Structure formats: C-alpha cells, structure tokens
C-alpha cells in the first residue's frame, strides 16, 4: 500500500510518500502507527504522540481503530489548519 | 432549482467580483450572495507573521470540500456554492480562501458560508507554516475551531 505524510509528520519522517508492506498482524491504523514507529528514530519521532496524529484511508478521514485491509492509500498528518 | 458547486485549489489569486459574477450570471432566482475571504494576517497571538506557507493533500482536499459543499446544499436552499483555496507562500494582506454561497434569501447563504468555513478549518487537509522573526513553525490547530465546527452537529 502507498503511504503519504504531510506537514510536520512529513518533515519528521523525511519523505512525502512511500510504498510499504506491513505484516498481516498489522490490522488497524493504530497498529500501523506502532509498526512504523519501530522502523527508525525518524518514524518514532514523527509518531511520538500517536493521539495527535490524524489518518485518512483512500482520501477519507478515519479513526485510529479503522481497519487498513484493502486500503490503496493511507495518509498521516497533524490536525488541519487551513482556511 | 439548480445549484452549481465550484471547488478549486490553486496557487493563483482570485477575483471576488469576477467569481460572484460567474455565480450569478443569467440567473434571476438568486436574491443573496454571501462572500467570505480569508486573508493572511501579520498579527497573530505572539510574533508578527512575515509569511505563511499553505500545504495540502491533493485529491483529498478537493474531495473533502466537495463532501461538505454537498452537505451544505442538502441542508440549506442554495442556488450556488464556490470554494477557492489557495496553496503556496503568502505575505500578510494576500488572499488565502474564498467561500461564496448564493440563495434566494440571506439566511441560508449566511449559515451555509459559516458552516463551510468551520469545516474547511477543521477537516479539509490543509496545513499552515508560519515564518516570523522568531523562526519558522507549523501553526497549531485551535480548540475553538473544533468547537465552531461541532455546533453544526448539535440537534
């Protein structure tokens, strides 16, 4: 699946997007955040406060318990500040 | 009664008079147009802002605005909606966002414009980075914006 990062999540991770293949045991957004955090210090820093992080699956906002099965594109970003 | 919905995300500036003219062209059923413009402001809570950079999530940003525009059209008797959000780097005084709502009577247009702006601030994927004399940093979301958006879901 493709993963995208925005704003300070992107800056901390050090990339705007990538393709990942998490193990089958990673089923939800919350579990994906935990799995990503274990990849390197950069990811751990980006996701150090998982409750602050917002997520979207295929362009729709989702909660942290949302299932990631079948997702084409997952995005992680801070609370929005547009307008 | 048709209600055209126009949503654009662009780097270029917009011309409010032109956008209103487009929205009302050859229509005689529109009695009210409400226009909201969001402008880059120099005086924030702490330091003077020198510039703002707006980042967005292409694709989702348009879709999220469209979802809320469609909801506004279903909640109020509207005759037209235009939402333009700019991205890029802005100096104080420059336009950032435009919301236009058209209806037969003013109440629907006022309420729909407020509804759209409240949701634009809290659920459309845009982020502001601020440059000031003290440095550069991402703008933090305000609880008051979440509260403003939440009032539309109260019964």
Structural domain harbouring B140: 5-150
| Domain total in chain B | 1
Domain annotation covers residue A24: yes
- CATH classification of the domain holding A69: 3.10.20.30
**How many of the other CB atoms lie within 10 Å of CB of A46?**
23
| Domain total in chain A | 1
Per-residue pLDDT tens for B8-43?
A: 999 999 999 999 999 999 999 999 999 999 999 887
In a 3-state reduction of DSSP, which class is residue A3?
strand
CB B118 within 8 A of CB B67: no
Inter-chain contact B128–A81, Cβ cutoff 8 Å? yes
Look at residue B153 in the predicted model and tell me its pLDDT. Answer: 86
Whether B113 has its CB under 8 Å from any CB of chain A: the answer is no
Per-residue pLDDT tens for A9-63?
A: 999 999 999 999 999 999 999 999 999 999 999 999 999 999 999 999 999 999 9
Domain annotation covers residue A27: yes
Look at residue A55 in the predicted model and tell me its pLDDT. Answer: 98
Look at residue B92 in the predicted model and tell me its pLDDT. Answer: 94
CA distances from B22 to A80, B6, B33, B85 (A): 30, 10, 12, 17
CB-based burial of residue B85 (10 Å sphere; 0-12 exposed, 13-18 middle, 19+ buried)? buried
Q: What is the pTM for the complete model shown?
A: 0.94
Transcribe chain B into DSSP letters: ----EEEEEESS---HHHHHHHHHTT-SS--EEEEEEEE--SB-SSSBEEEEEEEE-TTHHHHHHHHHHHHHHHHS-EEEEEEEEE-EEE-TT-EEEEEEEEESSHHHHHHHHHHHHHHHHHHS-EEEEEEETTEEEEPPPPHHHHHHHHTTT--
Whether B44 has its CB under 8 Å from any CB of chain A: the answer is no
Whether A55 has its CB under 8 Å from any CB of chain B: the answer is no
Per-residue pLDDT tens for B48-102?
A: 889 999 999 999 999 999 999 999 999 999 999 999 999 999 999 999 999 999 9
For residue B139, pLDDT over 80 is answered with: yes
Domain annotation covers residue B155: no
Q: Give the closest-approach CA distance of B97 to chain A in angstroms.
A: 6
Structural domain harbouring A23: 2-77
ipTM entry: 0.95
Look at residue B154 in the predicted model and tell me its pLDDT. Answer: 63
Interface test with A, best of B57, B66, B96 (most A CBs within 10 A): B57
Whether A79 has its CB under 8 Å from any CB of chain B: the answer is yes
In a 3-state reduction of DSSP, which class is residue A28?
strand
Look at residue B44 in the predicted model and tell me its pLDDT. Answer: 62
For residue B45, pLDDT over 70 is answered with: no
Inter-chain contact B125–A78, Cβ cutoff 8 Å? no
Nearest by CB to B141, which of A6, A56, A80? A80
Look at residue B43 in the predicted model and tell me its pLDDT. Answer: 76
Domain annotation covers residue A82: no
Inter-chain contact A81–B123, Cβ cutoff 8 Å? no
- Rounded CA-CA distance B99/B101 in Å is 7
Residue B1 — pLDDT band, cuts 50, 70, 90?
A: low
Q: Which residues contact B144 (CB under 8 A, 6 or more apart)?
A: none
- CATH classification of the domain holding B102: 3.90.1170.40
Residue A15 DSSP label: -
In a 3-state reduction of DSSP, which class is residue A2?
strand
Look at residue B46 in the predicted model and tell me its pLDDT. Answer: 62
Picking from B142, B141, B138, the residue whose alpha carbon sits closest to that of residue B53 is B138
């Amino acid at each position: 699946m493709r993963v995208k990062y925005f704003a300070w999540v992107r800056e901390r991770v050090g990339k705007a997007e990538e393709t990942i293949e998490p193990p089958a045991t990673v089923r939800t957004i919350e579990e994906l955040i935990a799995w990503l955090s274990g990849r390197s210090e950069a990811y751990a820093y980006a996701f150090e406060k998982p409750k602050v992080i917002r997520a979207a699956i295929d362009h729709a906002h989702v909660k942290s318990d949302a299932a990631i099965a079948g997702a084409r594109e997952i995005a992680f970003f801070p609370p929005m500040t547009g307008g | 009664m048709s209600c055209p919905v126009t949503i654009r995300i662009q780097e270029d500036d917009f011309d409010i008079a032109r956008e209103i003219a487009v929205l009302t062209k050859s229509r005689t059923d529109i009695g009210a147009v409400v226009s909201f413009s969001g402008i880059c402001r120099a005086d924030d809570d702490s330091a003077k802002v020198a510039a703002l950079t707006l980042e967005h999530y292409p694709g989702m940003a348009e879709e999220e605005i469209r979802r809320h525009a469609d909801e506004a059209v279903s909640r109020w008797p509207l005759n037209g909606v235009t939402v333009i959000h700019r991205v890029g780097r802005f100096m104080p005084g420059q336009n950032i966002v435009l919301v236009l709502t058209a209806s037969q009577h003013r109440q629907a247009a006022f309420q729909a414009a407020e509804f759209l702006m409240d949701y634009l601030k809290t659920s459309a994927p845009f982020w502001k980075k601020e440059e000031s004399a003290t440095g550069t940093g991402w703008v933090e979301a305000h609880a008051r914006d979440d509260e403003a958006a939440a009032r539309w879901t109260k019964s």
